[in-house]
Amino acid sequence: MDRREFVRMGLAVGGAAAVTPVHAVPKALQGGLLDTGVREQQQLMSSNKLTSHALTSQYLARIGKIDKSGPRINAIIELNPEALKIAREMDRERMARKVRGPLHGIPVLLKDNIATADRMSTTAGSLALDGVRAARDAHVVARLREAGAVILGKTNLSEWANMRSTHSVSGWSGRGGLTRNPYALDRNCSGSSSGSAAAITASLATLAVGTETDGSIVSPASICGLVGIKPTIGLVSRSGIIPIAASQDTAGPMARSVTDAALMLAVLAGPDPLDPVTQQGTHDTDYAKALDRNALRGKRLGVARNFFGSSDELDDAIEKALLVLQGQGAVLVDVQVPNTDKYGDTETAVLLHEFKPGLADYLKDYAPGAPIRNMADLIAFNRRHADKELRYFGQEHLEQSQAKAGLDSPDYQAALANNHRYARDEGIDKVMKEYGLDALVAPTGGPAWLTDFVNGDHYGGSFSSPAAVAGYPHITVPAGHVHGLPVGLSFVGGPYTESALIGMAYAYEQATHLRRAPTFPASIPLKVR
């Protein structure tokens, strides 16, 4: 199949699958085949109409066209020089009738805080780790390789996963610069998985892995019109991921559909001897079985009304989503998630306590050749390179973390116990038990804000903290648009209820199909009310 035939085939497939955008997308920016999902791409490869090598080549070409020129969204911090070699090997295996699973030959991007033992660096966006190669793969990367995925490259992020400054700009890192929102280039992608979100909504790969401590998967996914899954702590290994806080950190999928996210989560999830929390019990991770259009029928959903009210337009979009849920057979109950005001300060305290020892452990185990060995070294590096690292905002969180006592300190132990009490027992668990709920639903957050290097981020409302602090699963699904900017609907449940949440999210998605491809405008015209 020559190049022209491949491109014609790609545009035909993409045209049949694409959702009509708000504005016509210039042909040069259309995703075509590259906007389709895992199952569609697998079907083409299994019928010998597509190869992984050709698919990977097309994504690399699109990255050159969309990410590094044209709109220049700057989602990719580094490309894998071995991507085409891996794709070619997956094609050879397919020809030998060895297909490893649904991700065989599928191009995947990784957030640049996830270690890869290859020719790419793993830096968390920091110049302090520029050029440092990991000693071994993170566990999630090993699982992706075993599943046959093609590691296409690394995505930009908020430096140190947005745990550097109290006045940071999400999506900016010293190494990677600023990632721009494909729905309006002057707006933010949110953080910290900014590059993963921008890349997937712009069709620069089929799938991406993000990481979350509090909101860093679900917020950029919502703002970029994607599905994002923040798993239960313990479902996905944290080993080999540059940490903030072990009590809340997790990797998770970011995708253009619930199906794609579910298929990726099935690969990411699994026990790891290096992360003992992943070995606490067995869990059914065949999430494809959960993809049921009728999964909302008879479900009792608690509408978390204390997470509404940040804007009338956002509330209007989510009220329409609630009508869809009812139309699909769900029973809605208005609730208030209790005690959400009782762990704001203690959440920050826990993150600051855990960050310092977690970073030192990562550097020792995965980056023995790095020029920094601990938090103090990192702070000193940034001061020496202030013209590049500190030119827009400071490193207050790093300095506060360095000043914290160890994990055996009474202050840390009390803060962690407080968080679990009010987020779990007297929070999500309490309201779900009291009302007999299957899940909580709410707006994930507001639409994208204007990027502002003077004042920092302008977050609106957010539903991320209850599930993040509790360590419970959280899924966001596209729920419409506010002034043309995507917003998401969240589903939150108890621990290890990913299958149930995926089913509900899938049923909602199939009843709405609200994702629209971005059009890469410089800005958006505001509607006068």
Query: For residue 192, what is the DSSP state?
Result: S
* DSSP structure string for 153-189: EEE--SGGGG-S-TT--TTEETTTEE--BTTBTTB--
Q: Which of 52, 126, 190, 192 is catalytic?
A: 192
The enclosing H or E element of 151 equals strand 150-155
216 noted as active-site residue: yes
Amino acid at 199: A
The sign one gets for the Cα dihedral 105, 110, 114, 119 is: positive
d(CA 141, CA 118): 11
Both structure tokens of 213: 């401590």
Question: Residue 308 class from Cβ within 10 Å (0-12 exposed, 13-18 middle, 19+ buried)?
Answer: middle
Q: Helix 38-46 to helix 52-62 angle, to the nearest 10 degrees?
A: 140
Nearest one of 487, 495, 484, 470 to 523, comparing CA atoms: 484
Q: Which of 121, 196, 216, 237 is catalytic?
A: 216
State residue 475 phi and psi, 5-degree precision.
-125, 135
Q: Break the chain down into helix, strand, coil percent, rounded to 5.
A: 40, 15, 45
C-beta separation of 198 from 158 below 8 A: no
465 noted as active-site residue: no
Angle at the Cα of 419 from the Cα atoms of 441 and 172, rounded to 5 degrees:
70
C-beta separation of 479 from 487 below 8 A: yes
Nearest one of 41, 48, 47 to 102, comparing CA atoms: 41
222 noted as active-site residue: no
Active site residues: 111, 192, 216
